Amino acid sequence: MKENISCISIYSNTKNVEQAIKELESVNCDFRHVSVIAKYSQSENKITDYLGEQKKFWNNLWSLLTVSEFFIEPEFGSLIVAGKMVEIINNSPQITAIDDALSLLGRALFIIGVPVGNINEYEQEIIDENILLLVHGDQDDVERACKVLHGETQQVTVHRA
């Protein structure tokens, strides 16, 4: 049975996420296994209003990760999800079999190997309007991503299930 392994980094702004993406590109990370999750926190429900000054960031990200979607979560409001996690949320048969006490995001994190005890931490980061960068997949790819992303000022957490 294949082990679930993922690494998750938390960023306070899109500039730091852009830098992290560049670092992943420099080591030929497989972007089919990368996701970015952020809270859509604007008072109006117009995507273009939200993108405003961040439009270039999101357009670049969406072209790199190829799939993105907005999800409405009662706990968070609207979420912007780009990358592999969109597929997990939309297409995983396990997503509905997992305890309803977890949010949709929590269930998706659980599927990629995040322990239930850590899910609240990541959900709180989203509520606090931080951005999650996730790499999930092949052990070598995830470990390489973790080494590249971890630094003196950047924590990265690896989860195995």
Strands (E) across 2-83 are located at 5-11, 34-40, 68-73, 77-83
Per-residue pLDDT at 96: 64
Q: For the packed helices 116-127 and 104-111, what is the interaxial angle rounded to 10 degrees?
A: 130
* Residues 50/100, Cβ–Cβ less than 8 Å: no
Q: Which residues of 110-125 are buried (b: 16+ CB within 10 A; e: fewer)?
A: bbbbbeeebbeebbeb
Which pair of structure tokens corresponds to residue 7? 């690494």
Give the model confidence (pLDDT) of 97-134 as tens digits.
666 778 888 888 988 889 988 999 999 999 998 999 99
Predicted TM-score (pTM) of this structure: 0.85
Band of the pLDDT at 43, cuts 50, 70, 90?
very low
Band of the pLDDT at 45, cuts 50, 70, 90?
very low
Looking at residue 103, what DSSP letter applies?
Answer: -
Q: For the packed helices 139-149 and 14-26, what is the interaxial angle rounded to 10 degrees?
A: 130
Mean pLDDT of the chain: 82
Give the model confidence (pLDDT) of 143-160 as tens digits.
889 899 988 678 888 888
Count the domains in the chain.
1
Task: State the residue range of the domain holding 29.
Answer: 5-160
Which pair of structure tokens corresponds to residue 6? 């993922």
Q: To which H or E segment does residue 19 belong?
A: helix 14-26
Task: For residue 71, list its beta bridge partners.
Answer: 79
Per-residue pLDDT at 138: 81
Q: Of 19-33, 43-57, 69-83, 109-123, where does mean pLDDT reach its minimum?
A: 43-57
